Amino acid sequence: MQKFLFIALTITAISLFLHACGGGGSGKSQMEVRPEAVTESISSLLGGSIATSNNGFVMTVGASALEEDTQITITPQNDATNAVTYTLEPDGLTFNSPAEVIIQTEQDALGTLVEANGLQMNTANTVVAPFTELASNDSNFELLTETISNLVAGSGSAGIQVNTEVSHFSSLTVRNPKATLVARSAGFSLNHTVREPFTILCDFDVMYSPTANEAIHLGAIHFSSFTSSVSGAVGQSENIAADLEQTINNPGGNQPWWGDSSIIVPLPITNHLIGNFTCEQTGTGSIQLDLDVSYQGMIGADNIPFNLNNRLSIGYQVNCTDSTPETTTTTTSAETSTTAISTTNIATTTTANNTTTTSNLSTTTLSPTTTTSNTTTTTTTPVATTSDFTGVWNGNADIGGVTKLIFNDNLQGTWFITNQNGAFQHSNISATLSSNEISFDLPVSDQDIGKPDCSNWSMTASGTISADKSTLYLYFSGIACGPTGGQYASFTDTMLKE
């Protein structure tokens, strides 16, 4: 996967886009304004950049990438339908090193997508993964490696950004392939309180594009890796890397696609909770999920094979607020008076009978001085102990069952959950406590031992307790009962102490 290094330019482009989405009397984003052709002279020695008036297209040419100083023209094809197209001139221009291109577009500009039920997909809170096609002067084209990311505005995704590279000029088009990967979430702008673990709801599925380039014959889509990174006020658990990898590596995870049985696609990932994350301090932070996707297929009547590796980057903005301060500090001042003694010598002279006598008189002055001392008192929330977890906890897990957890003084206990028939299932557990975080393995329930669908069972749990020791926040992940011996699952549970 190629990396793109012009971070400052990327941030500038994103900032311009977000500013445009923020308001104005027309109610339109800056990307909806139809830009005109733009021409710039690019130095062969120094390189340079060129951008459309709405920053929907930004290209950066590196130093020595051109053989000679060149007039470059970018022309948006504003009459394009169900695609975003730019003509790059002079036609046939080649670069010694690829030029970096950033394209921003509204998702609706790429046409409609259809779900398996035949209904048009709602693009709110989604990130679609289009292809970028670079035509050549012999009427052929190639698919460019790209990174697709969402542009966050408010609670939804206002559009996408495509980062790619071009090594020569012709016509460049961004459009959805016949089988379009879509990521869906409950929202990309989040609000959470400090020290409360949280998860992200995220789905992945493949939708049908009726306006795709028919010359692209997809054969298979595979997920190659899934990673997470955080910044700012947000932290993440150490086991999230393993959880994400397990998410895309389910047994039997590929199948013929409902839209075209000749295309093999991953199983849909639905209502999946990714986490756990934590606001470690007040302020703002971000979460980025990177899903690497490989595509195989053929192009054109000549059936030229392609193996395309793209990245779908899903960004979340997190606002972290503090509900209960953990530490309070009080400073008091105390004043103490002391006395400083100073002595002044006064000389007096007396003359009598031609004899002079000199005597010294001493006077003492008492002057007050003040010394200030500061006393600081710090009150800190006590570290959680095993006794804080002792007792009965009642919850309602995201998987739909009413749960109960019972711990003794040694963190030995039992976890209960209702099954689909309403009967309680239970597992005996043994937990450990480290740095205020409790963790334990969750064995398969007594009722499910020996069942073929549960043969690969491997679930773990971790969580934290609230400052007032009344609420337990738990996150479960691993292989649960399911087809072919089990399938990956994760869920959260907020439990209250009886």
**CA proximity to 17, closest of 100, 122, 105, 78:** 105
Residue-averaged pLDDT of the chain: 79
- Average pLDDT score over residue span 164-191: 93
Least confident of 253-257, 302-306, 362-366: 362-366
CA–CA gap between residue 491 and residue 243 (Å, rounded): 12
**According to the model, what pLDDT value does residue 33 have?**
54
Cβ atoms of residues 108 and 83 within 8 Å: no
- Whether the full predicted model's pTM is greater than 0.75, yes or no, is no
More confident residue, 491 or 126: 126
More confident residue, 276 or 21: 276
**According to the model, what pLDDT value does residue 342 have?**
43
| pLDDT greater than 60 at residue 79 | yes
- Average pLDDT score over residue span 79-100: 95
Which stretch, 18-27, 92-101, 185-194, 231-240, has highest mean pLDDT?
Answer: 92-101
Cβ atoms of residues 447 and 429 within 8 Å: no
* Domains along the sequence of the chain with CATH: 7-20+29-321 (no CATH), 386-497 (2.40.128.20)
Distances (CA, A) of 373 to 162, 331, 333, 335, 338: 61, 10, 6, 7, 13
| pLDDT greater than 60 at residue 167 | yes
Q: Give tens-digit pLDDT for 261-314.
A: 999 999 888 878 887 899 999 999 999 999 999 999 999 888 999 999 999 999
**According to the model, what pLDDT value does residue 157 have?**
53
Q: In terms of C-beta density within 10 A (0-12 exposed, 13-18 middle, 19 or more buried), how is residue 336 classed?
A: exposed
- Average pLDDT score over residue span 53-60: 93
Q: In what order do the strands lie in the sheet with 234-236?
A: 126-129, 179-185, 198-208, 269-279, 234-236
**According to the model, what pLDDT value does residue 146 have?**
97
**According to the model, what pLDDT value does residue 422 have?**
59
CA–CA gap between residue 476 and residue 489 (Å, rounded): 8
Q: Give tens-digit pLDDT for 467-498.
A: 788 888 887 777 778 777 777 777 777 888 88
- Percent of the chain whose predicted confidence (pLDDT) is above 70: 76
| pLDDT greater than 60 at residue 356 | no
Q: Give tens-digit pLDDT for 304-348.
A: 999 999 999 999 999 999 865 444 444 444 444 444 444 444 344
**According to the model, what pLDDT value does residue 86 have?**
97
